[in-house]
């Protein structure tokens, strides 16, 4: 048994998943601790204001995500596996150009944020604080590309250490600023400082990684290259962007919709319910989903195997794990939430219990999304997300005037999750028809 276990752990994919999961536990713990500290230092009103700012920036920021991260990861992994350095340079050029466009959009949002929040919430100060998040996001693209390269070249351990260091540093700075009374401004300032710092660190470290693994540099990516290949990546990137943007709208757009119809305190409770409900998915499927984004394209492109059976078992096992972790979280968080966050946050238990089990449908997308991307069928998930969000928001706003806002929210979320879970049907049908190349002798 020990010999079998050791051989299982030595499998590169299993080892990388384990490493990522260990790092993921640290990040989840840091996020959990951060939510406690923010709730304790800011109080219900301040935490609600923080929730409104995040809901606004998350909703408005969808126009800045052009799908470059997921597109670059998918195709850079493929070109790196083929040792095609020309394609690697083309993908880096695509990432740089689309990231520059995203930075322009972020700058526009930062400029007009106070006007937008005055329109939605009647408070310009929310938009002024939101500017810090938009500016912080401008500096994230350097770290994003370096993370992609580390993942593709299988430096998973160092990537995990780097990500955890970034998270912990931000938490430490935020705690210090909160201790000195900077409130929400201090939390946002900590994110801005860490984003700028790690942007410059990433550029420095990438130059060393470039020499070790013979990957293209930034200067090489823009010199002596035509741009005809950009449309090749942009075609899939557009649908990936739509799918990612729609996916990132959950739960942000629902929190934002609630924030326009109720007080900041209720918004804060709803956000806390969503945040706690996301813990089981983060624990159970996040690392598998992340590695699947780079491994599944390789499997489908290079290995002759029964893909349908393998993927069906992966769906089934992921769902079982997700259920187990969700039940455990429901028991533990219900008991300890009032003691950890304070009695003022006890009502957050109710949205948490409902959302945590509705979130089970997200486990399906952890495996379905990378499959649809590599087979250029990601528009299926995008269509379902559009329908789900549209129907969900229609129910929320339609019933918000006749039912309590939280009850309208629960019904809207139920409709959303039922619709996006339908992605399982076309994915399985597509996998049955996949024709793989024969195994080379």
Rounded CA gap, 204 and 60, in Å? 32
Sequential pLDDT tens for the chain (441 residues): 444 544 444 555 556 656 666 777 788 888 889 999 999 999 999 999 999 999 999 988 888 888 888 888 878 887 887 788 888 888 898 999 999 999 999 999 999 999 999 998 888 999 999 999 999 999 999 999 999 999 888 888 899 899 999 999 999 999 999 999 999 999 999 999 999 999 999 999 998 888 788 888 888 777 756 676 777 777 777 777 776 677 678 889 999 999 988 888 999 999 999 999 988 877 766 666 666 565 565 555 544 556 666 667 767 777 777 888 899 999 999 999 999 998 999 999 999 999 999 998 887 777 787 778 767 787 888 888 889 999 999 999 999 889 999 999 999 999 999 999 898 888 888 777 655 444 444
Residue identified by tokens 């966050």 is 341
Does some domain include residue 5?
Answer: no
User: Could you tell me the end-to-end alpha-carbon distance of the chain, in angstroms, rounded to an integer?
Assistant: 33
Q: What is the pLDDT of residue 198?
A: 97
Count of beta carbons in the 10 Å neighbourhood of residue 286: 17
CA distances from 35 to 31, 275, 340 (A): 6, 9, 10
Q: Which residues contact 404 (CB under 8 A, 6 or more apart)?
A: none
Does some domain include residue 6?
Answer: no
Instruction: Give the distance from CA 290 to its chain's centroid.
Output: 10
Count of beta carbons in the 10 Å neighbourhood of residue 421: 19
Does some domain include residue 128?
Answer: yes
Does some domain include residue 84?
Answer: yes
Q: What is the pLDDT of residue 307?
A: 61
SS (H, E, C) 126-149: HHHHHHHHHHHHHCCHHHHHHHHH
Q: What is the pLDDT of residue 322?
A: 81
User: 229: which DSSP letter?
Assistant: H
**Average model confidence (pLDDT) across the chain:** 84
Residue range 394-415, pLDDT digits in tens: 999 999 889 999 999 999 999 9
Rounded CA gap, 202 and 194, in Å? 12
Q: What is the pLDDT of residue 2?
A: 47
Helices (H) and strands (E) in the chain, counts: 19, 0
Angle, helices 362-374 vs 424-433, to 10°: value is 40
Does some domain include residue 301?
Answer: yes
* Cis peptide preceding 391, ω within 30 of 0: no
Closest CA to 238 of 104, 378, 383: 378
**CA-atom Rg of the chain in angstroms:** 22
Rounded CA gap, 186 and 178, in Å? 6
Tokens of 179: 């201790």
Is 225:90 a contact under the CB 8 Å cutoff? yes
- Model pTM greater than 0.85? no
Tokens of 387: 């329908």
Does some domain include residue 56?
Answer: yes
3-state helix, strand, coil in the chain (%, to 5): 85, 0, 15
Q: What is the pLDDT of residue 397?
A: 92
Our count of domains for the chain comes to 1
Rounded CA gap, 423 and 126, in Å? 37
Judge residue 91's burial from the number of C-beta atoms within 10 Å of its C-beta, 0-12 exposed, 13-18 middle, 19 or more buried: buried
Closest CA to 254 of 406, 120, 39, 420: 406
Rounded CA gap, 62 and 105, in Å? 10
Rounded CA gap, 62 and 249, in Å? 8
Does some domain include residue 441?
Answer: no
Does some domain include residue 1?
Answer: no
Structural domain span for residue 376: 15-433
Q: What is the pLDDT of residue 171?
A: 96
């Amino acid at each position: 048994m020990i010999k079998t276990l050791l051989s299982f752990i030595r499998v590169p994919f299993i080892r990388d998943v384990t490493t990522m999961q260990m790092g993921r536990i640290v990040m989840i713990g840091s996020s959990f601790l951060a939510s406690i500290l923010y709730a304790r230092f800011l109080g219900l009103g301040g935490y609600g204001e923080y929730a409104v700012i995040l809901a606004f920036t998350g909703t408005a920021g969808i126009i800045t995500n052009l799908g470059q991260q997921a597109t670059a990861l998918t195709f850079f992994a493929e070109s790196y596996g083929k040792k095609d350095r020309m394609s690697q340079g083309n993908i880096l050029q695509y990432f740089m150009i689309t990231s520059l466009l995203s930075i322009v959009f972020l700058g526009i949002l930062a400029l007009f944020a106070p006007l937008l929040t005055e329109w939605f919430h009647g408070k310009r100060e929310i938009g002024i604080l939101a500017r810090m998040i938009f500016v912080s996001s401008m500096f994230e693209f350097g770290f994003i590309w370096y993370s992609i390269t580390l993942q593709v070249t299988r430096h998973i351990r160092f990537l995990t250490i780097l990500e955890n260091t970034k998270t912990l540093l931000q938490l430490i700075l935020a705690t210090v600023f909160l201790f000195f009374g900077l409130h929400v401004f201090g939390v946002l300032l900590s994110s801005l400082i860490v984003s700028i710092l790690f942007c410059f660190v990433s550029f420095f470290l990438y130059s060393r990684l470039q020499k070790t693994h013979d990957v293209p540099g930034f200067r090489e990516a823009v010199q002596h290259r035509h741009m005809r290949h950009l449309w090749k990546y942009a075609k899939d990137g557009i649908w990936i962007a739509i799918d990612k943007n729609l996916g990132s709208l959950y739960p942000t757009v629902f929190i934002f919709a609630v924030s326009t119809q109720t007080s900041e305190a209720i918004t804060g409770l709803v956000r806390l319910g969503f945040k706690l409900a996301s813990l089981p998915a983060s624990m159970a499927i996040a690392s598998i989903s992340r590695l699947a984004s780079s491994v599944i394209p390789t499997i489908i492109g290079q290995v002759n195997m029964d893909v349908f059976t393998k993927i069906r078992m992966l769906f089934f096992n992921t769902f079982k794990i997700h259920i187990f972790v969700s039940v455990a979280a429901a028991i533990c968080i219900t008991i300890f939430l009032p003691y950890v966050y304070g009695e003022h946050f006890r009502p957050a238990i109710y949205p948490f219990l409902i959302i945590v089990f509705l979130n089970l449908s997200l486990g399906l997308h952890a495996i379905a999304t990378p499959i649809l991307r590599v087979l250029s069928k990601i528009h299926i998930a995008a269509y379902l997300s559009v329908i789900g969000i549209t129907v969900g928001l229609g129910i929320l706003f339609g019933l918000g005037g006749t039912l309590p806002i939280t009850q309208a929210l629960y019904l809207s979320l139920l409709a959303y999750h039922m619709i996006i879970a339908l992605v399982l049907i076309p994915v399985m049908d597509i996998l049955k028809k996949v024709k793989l190349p024969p195994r080379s002798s």
